[in-house]
Structure 1
Amino acid sequence: MAEIDNFDAADSGASNTFPIQCSALRKNGYVVMKGHPCKIVEMSTSKTGKHGHAKVNLTGIDIFSNKKYEDMCPSTHNVDVPHIKRTEWQLLNITDGFMSLMFENGDLREDLRLPEGDLGKEIQAKFENSDDFLVTVLSAMGEECAVSVKALSSK
């Protein structure tokens, strides 16, 4: 008889990114630049040079920190594209800089920090006015961040 090993945890094997040919990228799409998930804001392709590859010049904005990144790669090479997930949560409370959020199926989470800057101030102001609204949360490559708010539509 074979001995049965007991595994405490297993990874699903799902990757945070997937490869795509650089020439297939489009403006307003997403790409990983210097290890950061970025939205492509500008892109241009140069003509084939004496070494035989057209180059793609990419400019992207980090979806979490809004930092600008630039990169250049041959059009035939593969680049990583992040798996982006967008969810909307209703804000219930703000405690010590963390938001209490509820998903449409009733799931609760209290581990998301109130964003800094104008968005954080807008969320705080709407909460203090007792407005009902949804917080859009973007998740990619193991990071999550609130990126926008919208009014809660009454059913």
Structure 2
Amino acid sequence: MSGKKHYQQGESGSSFTYPMQVANVKQNDYAILKGFPCLVTEITTGKGGKCGHIKAYIIGIDIFTGKKYEELCPILHNIEIPFVKKYELQLIGISDDDYLTLLIENGEIKEDIKLPDDEPQLVEKLKADFDNQKDIIVSIIQAMGQEKVISYREIVN
């Protein structure tokens, strides 16, 4: 993967996002900031400007890249909220090019998730634990048509 990714802003009928009034967005919610799915880390409101609209200053971290984004929006306007899903799958293999072989609950295999490039410690530790024959469950976050491994744990029998 090269360059930065841009995500489609949700339109009516979009399966990736839904609208929410800015006044209802809270810290630790998800929101689309500058076109990217972010975890809101800070939200502050200021006084009304010349036209009297109170604005919210929203700061968030992209859930896939960790990059910080900021947005200033009137609190009565809507902002797009991404549908975010977290799930876990059992790891059964790692390819030479860092794609994971994962076991889905129904017994099928999923092989389209790559280890994250931006978290070398996680990748190194996961590979070492897998090489040491440990049974591993990976946690995956999914939004905007993308998926990323965010953590893992050992299955203890």
Q: Is the shorter-chain TM-score for this pair beyond 0.5, marking a shared fold?
A: yes
The Cα shift of 1:150 comes to: 1.8
Aligned length: 142
How far, CA to CA, are the matches of 2:89 and 2:116 in structure 1?
15
How far, CA to CA, are the matches of 2:89 and 2:136 in structure 1?
9
The residue matched to 2:50 in structure 1 has which SS?
coil
How far, CA to CA, are the matches of 2:42 and 2:88 in structure 1?
28
The Cα shift of 1:153 comes to: 4.6
Identity %: 41
Are 2:75 and 1:75 aligned? yes
Partner of 2:20: 20
Partner of 1:98: 99
> What TM-score, normalized by structure 1, do the two folds share?
0.86
The Cα shift of 1:92 comes to: 0.4
Amino acid at match of 2:135: D
The residue matched to 1:145 in structure 2 has which SS?
strand
CA deviations on 1:39-91 (whole Å, 9 max, x unpaired) are 00111111223311111001100000001111110000000000011110111
> What TM-score, normalized by structure 2, do the two folds share?
0.85
- Note the residue ranges of structure 1 that are not aligned, 5 or more in a row: 1-12
The Cα shift of 1:151 comes to: 2.4
Residues 1-155 of structure 1: matches in 2 within 5 Å? 14-96=14-96, 97-116=98-117, 117-154=120-157
How far, CA to CA, are the matches of 2:58 and 2:83 in structure 1?
19
How far, CA to CA, are the matches of 2:29 and 2:154 in structure 1?
26
How far, CA to CA, are the matches of 2:100 and 2:150 in structure 1?
13
Amino acid at match of 1:132: D
The residue matched to 1:118 in structure 2 has which SS?
helix
How far, CA to CA, are the matches of 1:119 and 1:130 in structure 2?
17
The Cα shift of 1:118 comes to: 1.8
Amino acid at match of 1:45: T
How far, CA to CA, are the matches of 2:155 and 2:65 in structure 1?
26
The Cα shift of 1:14 comes to: 5.0
Q: What root-mean-square deviation, in Å, do the aligned CA atoms of Structure 1 and Structure 2 show?
A: 1.3
